[in-house]
Amino acid sequence: MRKLSTSMCAASLLALIATTPAIAITAEETVAEGKAVYMGKSRGNCISCHQINDPDANLAGNQGPPMVAMTQRFPDKRMLRAQVWDASKNNPITIMPPLGKHWILSEEEIDAVVEYIYQF
Amino acid sequence: MKIIKNITIGLSLLLSSQLVFSAQPGTTLASVNPEADRMALQNYFKKRFPDAELADYVNGIYAVDADSREQWEELESFPPYEFDVEEGERLFKTAFANGKGYADCFENGGVGIRQNFPYWDKEASTVKTLEQEINECRESNGEKPLKWGKGAIAQISAYMAWTSRDNVFDIKIPEGDEGALAAYLEGKKFFYTKRGQLNLSCANCHLQGSNVRIRADLAGPALGHPSHFPVFRSKWGSLGTLHRRYKGCHKDSRSKPLDMQHETFRNLEYFQTYMSNGLVVNGPGSRK
């Protein structure tokens, strides 16, 4: 009986993985996606306003603060995500676009870009 | 989707207009004071860029950024708009089929009058721009109107600006004329209101964001914006009118841009040029 239920569990786990391959992306893939969002002109275009210590970030703008010491400044990652989702909540006249609220990025893209900048 | 988007844009409009209320008074017909607005804008930039001369704001970003100024001065040593001024003069002086010409439509034969545009036309109850009157002149003489953004209309406007260089902008909001004041107010509100998917106002980039990098672009200060138009812009590779620029900048907020010479753009021009009163005409200009 016990053996049976374990193997059933394993089977359903396998089935889960097999039917939802999109979820099975690695942490590196998420960060790479986040980087693409950060740099992409038609995506987040964060680079147009924020410097970041990534060798691929050339000609970054300086409208906003540089992306440094993120874990110190945002010990709670959810606060960081909230800033990206709708910057106008903290500062109604901010120049930073409300990337989530105005559907500029998808929820997954926001998660990815947060993971990417959280490394710096 | 579209409806929800409109609602969120509407909401943010509301929010930001409240902000305008608290940040700067004068957002109603009863309280608006154009002269106070003009002084406030000058003072804002005096504080922001203490080393820049007021008179130099006609040079846009080059008034406040030394690096790009150097490149620009090189550009100006062989002004890219020279040909356009000559062509504009030729067009201006070429008679219409009926024998009349542009000179017959304007005060002082159209020479040295750029500083008075745009103006409030009481009879028509609307703001009139120079380009608009160039086309009205054509149509009342049986000619087809020109396209608004570039080409002949920009060249004629450039020639007219050229004959007005160093004249001081003198935009009037006639005392006691509510229509004129309302047009000014609409232009002012348009300038400060956030819009589009990126939720940006003109002020976001041209006040707060002036001389701060957006990627490799530098938005210039709002003060003096219209003074040197039409402008030869290297990125365009041609001369363009102020409304061509408005359209492009409006798109930068990812909103659907208005048509050139739309009443709202004319009101915006009225507001922006009033803000430039006291500065001189130095059109046509050149920009990177």
Domain interval for residue A98: 25-117
**Does the pLDDT of residue A13 top 50, yes or no?**
no
Q: What is the pLDDT of residue B157?
A: 98
> With 90 as the cut, is the pLDDT of residue B5 above it?
no
Residue A95 lies in a domain: yes
Report the distance separating Cα A103 and Cα A85, nearest Å: 9
The answer to whether A93 contacts B208, with C-beta atoms less than 8 Å apart, is: yes
pLDDT beyond 90 at B15:
no
Mean predicted lDDT score pLDDT of chain A: 85
pLDDT tens digits for range A102-117: 999 999 999 999 999 9
Would an 8 Å CB–CB cutoff place B205 in contact with chain A? yes
Domain count of the fold of chain A: 1
Q: B17 falls in which pLDDT band (50, 70, 90)?
A: very low
Least trusted range by pLDDT, from B32-41, B120-129, B212-221: B212-221
Rg, chain A, Cα only: 18
> Is A59 inside a domain boundary?
yes
Q: pTM of the prediction?
A: 0.84
Q: Using the beta-carbon criterion (under 8 Å), do B204 and A95 form an inter-chain contact?
A: yes
**In this structure, what CATH number is given to the domain that contains residue A89?**
1.10.760.10
Distance CA B5, CA B16 (A): 16
Strand ranges, E, within chain B: 119-121, 126-128, 213-214, 217-218, 231-233, 238-240, 285-287
Is B25's pLDDT higher than 80? Answer: no
Domain membership of residue A94 (yes or no) is yes
Domains of chain B (ranges plus CATH)?
28-78+174-287 (1.10.760.10), 82-162 (1.10.760.10)
Mean residue pLDDT of chain B comes to 90
Residue A8 predicted with pLDDT over 90: no
Residue A20 inside a domain? The answer is: no
Q: Judge whether B249 counts as a catalytic residue.
A: yes
Interface touch A62/B5, C-beta < 8 Å = no
The string of pLDDT tens digits covering residues B149-169 is 999 999 999 999 999 999 999
Q: Reply yes or no on whether the pLDDT at B108 is more than 90.
A: yes
Q: Which of B137, B202, B205, B249 is catalytic?
A: B249
Residue B268 confidence (pLDDT): 98
% of chain B at pLDDT higher than 70: 91
Opening angle at CA B229, ends B224 and B234, nearest 5: 110
User: Which residues on A lie below 8 Å from B19 (Cβ)?
Assistant: 92-93
The pLDDT, as a whole number, for residue B244 is 96
Nearest to A88 by CA among B72, B219, B198, B220: B198
Contacts of A87 (CB under 8 A, 6+ apart): A94, A96, A97, A98, A99
| pLDDT number for residue A15 | 45
CB atoms B214 and A61 under 8 Å:
yes
Any CB–CB contact under 8 A between B3 and chain A? no
Region B34-44 average pLDDT = 95
